[in-house]
Amino acid sequence: MNLSRRDFLATTAVGTAGLHLPLANAADAKPKKLVLIAGTPSHGPGDHEFNAGVLLLDKCLKDVKGLETTVFKNGYPKDDSALDTADGILCYADGGGGHPLIREKRLERIGKLMAKGTGLMCAHYGVEVPKDLGGPEFRDWIGGYYESMFSCNPMWKPEFTEFPKHPIANGVKPFSVKDEWYMNMRFREDMKAITPILVAKPSDAVRDGPYVYPKGPYKHIQENKGRNETMMWATERTDGGRGVGFTGGHFHRNWLDDNFRKVVLNALLWICKVEVPNDGVASTVSDEEIKANWDPKKK
C-alpha cells in the first residue's frame, strides 16, 4: 500500500498517541502516599498508645487501592525525606511545647510541604500547640487547634448522631464512646472554610468540670452551656491541600468501635485525595489486635 507523506504523518501520529496512552494511564494510577507519624510513649498502659494506634490504622488501610503508607514510630523520623513525596501526613502524638511538628524549627519544614498542597491530619494531643508557636500555622494548615486555658479536655461520652454531607462522614453511623474529647477549639475566624464532622452538645456537668488538666472549670466554658461543640473538623486550604483535626484518641480500646475508626480512616484517605468509598473504609479490629504493640510502660 502506497501512502502519501500526509497520510503517513497522520497514521504515525495516531500510532504514537496510542503508544503514549498507557503511559499516561500509568501516571494517573500512581498511588497516593500517606505518612503516619506516631509519638513517643506517653501516659499509662492503654492510653496514648500512639505506636499501636498508628500500626492499627496502617493495618486497616493495607487493602485500600491507590494508597501507599509509610509508618514512623516513636516520634518524628530522623530521616524525614519520605515527607517530600507524601500526599498526606498523620501526626498522632503528644503536643504542646514538645509537639513533633514544631520542635527544632520544623514549622518551616512542614510549612513548605503545606504550601505545595500536602494534606495534614493531627489527632488527639497532636492538635495542641502553643498559641505563639504553631497556633497561627495550625489554624492555616488544619483550621484550628487546642489552645491551653482557652480550650478544655474533659472525659465525656458525646452522642454523635448527625453528620455532614462530606466524604469523611461516608458510611459513618451514630456512635458514642467515652474519651478525652477536647472542646472549645481555637478555630479560624467565623469557621472560615471549616466543615465540622463530629459535633455534640456537652452537658452542663461536663462544662462544669473537672477537666483532665488543668481541672478548671473555666468561666468562658461554663458560659456557653447549651452550645454544640466540634470534636472533629475538616478544611480545604487555598494552597490546594486538606487539613483535619480529630480530638479523640486517648483510650486505645476505642479503636474497636467501627464508627470511631471509620471516620478517622475516611479522613486519612481524604487528606491524600484518595476517593472515599460511599460506605466508608471497611475494616475490622479484633481484641487480640487491640492488645498488640503497646509501649512498655509502668502501670
pLDDT digit string, tens, across residues 79-119: 999 999 999 999 999 999 999 999 999 999 999 999 999 99
Mean pLDDT of 37-48: 97
Q: How would residue 63 be classed by pLDDT, with cut points 50, 70 and 90? A: very high
What is the identity of the amino acid at 243? G
Rounded to an integer, the average pLDDT of 30-54 is 97
Contact 200, 159 (CB under 8 A): yes
Q: 29 falls in which pLDDT band (50, 70, 90)?
A: confident
pLDDT digits (tens, 9 = 90+) for 158-201: 999 999 999 999 999 999 999 999 999 999 999 999 999 999 99
Nearest to 187 by CA among 141, 121, 122, 250: 141
Q: How confident is the model at residue 11 (pLDDT cuts 50, 70, 90)?
A: very low
Read off the pLDDT of each residue in 20-26 and give the average, rounded to a whole number.
44
Residue ranges with strand state E in the chain: 32-38, 67-72, 88-92, 119-123, 144-145, 155-156, 179-180, 186-187, 194-200, 229-236, 242-246
Domain range list for the chain: 31-290
The CA-based angle 275-95-75, given to 5 degrees, is: 75
pLDDT of residue 7: 44
Q: Write the DSSP symbol of residue 145.
A: E
**Would you tell me the crossing angle of helices 258-271 and 50-61 to the nearest 10 degrees?**
70
Enter the CATH code of domain 31-290. 3.40.50.880
Q: Is residue 28 very low, low, confident or very high in pLDDT (cuts 50, 70, 90)?
A: low
